[in-house]
Amino acid sequence: AQSVTQLDSQVPVFEEAPVELRCNYSSSVSVYLFWYVQYPNQGLQLLLKYLSGSTLVKGINGFEAEFNKSQTSFHLRKPSVHISDTAEYFCAVSFLYGNKLVFGAGTILRVKS
């Protein structure tokens, strides 16, 4: 069965520090990978996606993620976070020719000054 695991439920970090939010998936077929961000009292917005090609994907707001097929991971990184990055981040997986997304449980990023 396909599944998505976000390894950290909460990640506290100081402003201007780097951050990595971890995501692992399990699947026996080709996958497409996404990170979504949810700000308080809002819906989810697409941060970045990996469909094919270069394994390093750049998204909005300075975030990037790297697809590692051998480790079945798609970790999200930012070299220097801001207070405004405080939000919940969701990793999601779609499967070849799929019409559904499977979401991880989410990671709350808390940026402190």
Partner 1 sequence: NAGVTQTPKFRVLKTGQSMTLLCAQDMNHEYMYWYRQDPGMGLRLIHYSVGEGTTAKGEVPDGYNVSRLKKQNFLLGLESAAPSQTSVYFCASSPGLTNNSPLHFGNGTRLTVT
Q: Which 75-104 positions form the footprint of partner 1 (CB under 8 A)?
A: 90, 94-104
**Rounded (10°) CA dihedral 52, 80, 84, 37:** 20
Q: Which residue number, 77 or 95, has a Cβ lying nearer to partner 1?
A: 95
Decide if residue 15 touches partner 1 (CB under 8 A): no
We find the least distance from the C-beta atom of residue 26 to partner 1, in angstroms, to be 15
Distance (Å, rounded) from C-alpha 82 to C-alpha 113? 9
Choice from 43, 54, 70, 113 touching partner 1 (CB under 8 A): 43
* 75: β partners: 66
Cβ atoms 82, 100 nearer than 8 A: no
Q: Which residue number, 9 or 71, has a Cβ lying nearer to partner 1?
A: 9
We find the least distance from the C-beta atom of residue 113 to partner 1, in angstroms, to be 26
Counting residues that bind partner 1 (by CB under 8 A) gives 28
Decide if residue 21 touches partner 1 (CB under 8 A): no
Residues that bind partner 1 (CB under 8 A): 4, 6, 9, 32, 34, 36, 41-46, 49, 51, 90, 94-106
